[in-house]
């Protein structure tokens, strides 16, 4: 239930009683918001009394009679307009004319009621004003949330870039001081660490670009027959060096139909992120198994690793904004925190499902379920760059 405060300014007691009776009977239901609105009404008998009350009250709606005994209504409306309050004004008049309506509107009145009016006309005018007021406040709230989300995203981005930049800066200053490092092996290790940090920054930037393209709706999506089994083989080839460095075995199992209608580039992003994560959070000598099952009504895509796993709490927070699993086991693992956000957004764009199941020190499985002919959903709520986060 939403409550709106009305200040009713009219010198005629009978008119005030009639309006209070109309608005006080039952709550007004606004179908556009699927909510009821009730009205709390304060009454003023003159312009002076209204001005006094408005020093202490900020009503949502002000209903003013055009024939007040002491103050011209247009002057009162003009004063309210200059204060730029979050309210709407409705002017009532028994002497309605085009000129008076235009003048009242110019001074800031939202609507005009010509006396005598019926209860239905009163309710219609109040309904229109209430809808406009709530829509305006809802739009303002969304704009504030958008600004807050943008600020938070930029703050996290600045933090994520500041750390590797500081490390690289420190390494370069060590190299600049020739007296500090004279061993070629030490120099090589410093260069290698700097390159690793640069790769992490590059990955973060690329993930942000992928995410913003998806959220902006400007990315051109080309649906075509896409063999996800073949895409996985290519993802394995891309990750082969990374896997061999840690002696991690890559296994692919494909069954049934593996061709879906999708944007090939988006499916590559999904698989490359999941395979890369499965290797990154694995243990040396572990395994990564991708199983693709197209024997049912939908295609099921599973990526399983034998890595460090996650706790239940970490799983529930996995897709929070910029969330990354941080503990002693992940302390030396670099990541952008956005990879899984990109994956989830792509899956949702295809009206698919993504779930995660994990046990600490045993491994993690990501499962994606998609239709063979998925309908690309262009109306997914992306939250104005409110990033979902990543592992």
Structure tokens at 175: 């190299």
Confidence band for 379, pLDDT divided at 50, 70 and 90:
very low
Confidence band for 364, pLDDT divided at 50, 70 and 90:
very high
- What are the residue ranges spanned by the domains of the chain? 2-143, 220-370
Strand order in the sheet with 287-294: 249-256, 287-294, 299-305, 363-370, 353-359
The 10s digit of each residue's pLDDT in 330-339 is 455 554 456 7
CATH of domain 2-143: 3.40.50.2300
* 255, containing H or E segment: strand 249-256
Reference 320, options 239, 391, 269; nearest CA is 391
DSSP H stretches of helix in the chain: 13-24, 47-53, 73-83, 98-107, 119-176, 184-216, 228-245, 264-280, 312-316, 339-349
CA distance 312 to 330: 16
Reference 45, options 16, 74, 81; nearest CA is 16
> CB neighbours of 135 closer than 8 A, spacing ≥ 6?
32
What pLDDT was estimated at residue 216?
61
Which range of 81-90, 186-195, 208-217, 291-300 scores highest in mean pLDDT? It is 291-300
Quickly tell me which residue has 């600045």 as its tokens: 158
Percent of the chain with pLDDT strictly greater than 90: 15
- 333, burial (CB in 10 Å: exposed 0-12, middle 13-18, buried 19+): middle
CATH architecture of 220-370: 2-Layer Sandwich (3.30)
Give the distance from CA 136 to its chain's centroid.
19
The 10s digit of each residue's pLDDT in 245-259 is 899 999 999 998 999
> CB neighbours of 237 closer than 8 A, spacing ≥ 6?
none
Give this prediction's pTM. Answer: 0.53
């Amino acid at each position: 239930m939403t409550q709106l405060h009305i200040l009713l300014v009219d010198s005629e007691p009978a008119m005030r009683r009639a309006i209070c009776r109309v608005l006080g009977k039952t709550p007004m239901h606004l179908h556009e918001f699927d909510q009821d609105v009730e009205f709390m009404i304060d009454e003023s008998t003159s312009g002076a009394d209204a001005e006094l009350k408005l020093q202490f009250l900020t009503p949502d709606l002000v209903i003013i009679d055009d024939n007040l005994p002491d103050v011209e209504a247009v002057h009162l409306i003009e004063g309210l307009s200059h204060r730029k309050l979050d309210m709407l004004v409705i002017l009532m008049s028994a002497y309605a004319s085009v000129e008076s309506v235009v003048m009242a509107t110019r001074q800031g009145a939202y609507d005009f009621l010509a006396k005598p009016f019926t209860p239905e006309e009163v309710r219609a005018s109040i309904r229109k004003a209430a809808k406009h007021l709530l829509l305006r406040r809802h739009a303002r709230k969304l704009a504030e949330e958008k600004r807050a989300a943008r600020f938070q995203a930029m703050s996290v981005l600045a933090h994520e870039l500041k750390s590797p930049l500081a490390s690289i800066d420190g390494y370069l200053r060590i190299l600049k001081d020739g007296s500090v490092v004279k061993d070629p092996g030490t120099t090589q290790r410093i260069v290698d660490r700097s390159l690793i940090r640069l790769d992490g920054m590059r990955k973060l930037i690329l993930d942000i670009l992928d995410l913003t393209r998806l959220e902006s709706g400007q990315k051109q999506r080309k649906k075509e027959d896409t063999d996800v089994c073949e895409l996985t083989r290519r993802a394995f080839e891309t990750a082969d060096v990374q896997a061999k460095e840690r002696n991690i075995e890559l296994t692919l199992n494909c069954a049934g139909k593996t061709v879906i209608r999708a944007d090939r580039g988006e499916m590559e992003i999904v698989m490359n992120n999941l395979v890369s994560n499965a290797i990154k959070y694995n243990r040396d000598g572990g395994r990564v198994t991708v199983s693709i099952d197209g024997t049912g009504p939908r295609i099921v895509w599973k990526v399983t690793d034998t890595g460090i796993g996650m706790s239940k709490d970490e799983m529930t927070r996995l897709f929070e904004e910029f969330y990354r699993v941080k503990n002693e086991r992940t302390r030396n693992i670099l990541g952008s925190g956005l990879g899984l956000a990109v994956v989830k957004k792509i899956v949702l764009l295809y009206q698919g499902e993504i779930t995660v199941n994990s046990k600490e020190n045993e491994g993690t499985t990501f499962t994606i379920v998609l239709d063979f002919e998925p309908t690309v959903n262009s109306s997914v709520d992306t939250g104005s760059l409110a990033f979902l986060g990543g592992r």
